[in-house]
Chains A and B, each alone.
Chain A
């Protein structure tokens, strides 16, 4: 039942069908998911533009899920990432893991997100009412990765 699924899509993420895929394994008692949205404080950010390196993006995502499998006993794992123009409050990313028990699913979902933030070749450009600017990589994301090594 060890299966990875990677979806890179320019259309809105429909969580239900991916959740259904995650829940197909009868031996699993746990499913943990994470959903990331376009955040806009005081409606400042209008939209994001997400650019990716086709090919390397998918390869790195699979590598991250395989690294999670070496650490925890998990069965189904999925990463769905939106690219292109994304409006405020829409979903950017969906990560999910199924496993026998909850601890493995919780830990591996967090690990996959921390790795994704640091290793997957994706770049965000933020659009406000007045300007467009590329988002800089954050130290807090690099720090989040340190706990795993």
Chain B
């Protein structure tokens, strides 16, 4: 199982702060595509808009392989400071 977190506008568009996913050993892109198929708002937030991904709190690209037990986070480009 993997835990998925959403932050900022991504969280607001999707409507939930987190969810769980049973399948593991898939790439970030595969997960992004599977989640994007859940509805128009998911597709818009995760695929259409600029959306970054961190695995275990480290920024990764779409080819990164997600393992069982990983913490995955999706969020927009950052705007702190």
Task: For chain B, give the interface size range.
Answer: 10 to 19
Q: Are B80 and A117 in contact (CB under 8 A)?
A: yes
Max chain A CB contacts within 10 Å: which of B11, B59, B77? B77
**Is B81 on the interface with A (CB-CB < 8 A)?**
yes
Q: Hey, what's the 0/1 contact readout for B48-73 against A, CB within 8 Å counting as 1? A: 00100010011100000000000001
Chain B residues with CB under 8 A of A137: 50, 76-79
- Size of the A side of the interface (Cβ < 8 Å), in residues, is 27
**Is A43 on the interface with B (CB-CB < 8 A)?**
no
Chain B residues with CB under 8 A of A123: 7-9, 75-76, 78-80
Partner of B81, one of A36, A53, A125, A136: A36
**Is A93 on the interface with B (CB-CB < 8 A)?**
yes
In the complex, the number of residue pairs spanning A and B with C-beta atoms less than 8 Å apart equals 72
Q: Hey, what's the 0/1 contact readout for A91-109 against B, CB within 8 Å counting as 1? A: 0110000000000000000
Among residues of A, the one whose C-beta sits closest to the C-beta of B80 is A122
Q: Are A124 and B79 in contact (CB under 8 A)?
A: yes
Partner of B54, one of A121, A122, A136: A121
Chain A residues with CB under 8 A of B79: 122-124, 134-138
**Is B5 on the interface with A (CB-CB < 8 A)?**
yes
Q: CA separation between A110 and B12, bound complex, in Å?
A: 32
Q: How far is the CB of A92 from chain B (nearest CB, A)?
A: 7
Q: Are B78 and A120 in contact (CB under 8 A)?
A: yes
In the complex with contacts A56-B73, A121-B7, A123-B9, A50-B80 CB distance below 8 A: yes
A binding-site residues for B, Cβ under 8 Å: 36, 50-53, 55-56, 59, 81, 92-93, 113, 116-125, 134-138
7 interchain pairs (CB within 8 A)?
A36-B81, A52-B80, A56-B54, A56-B57, A117-B81, A123-B79, A134-B9
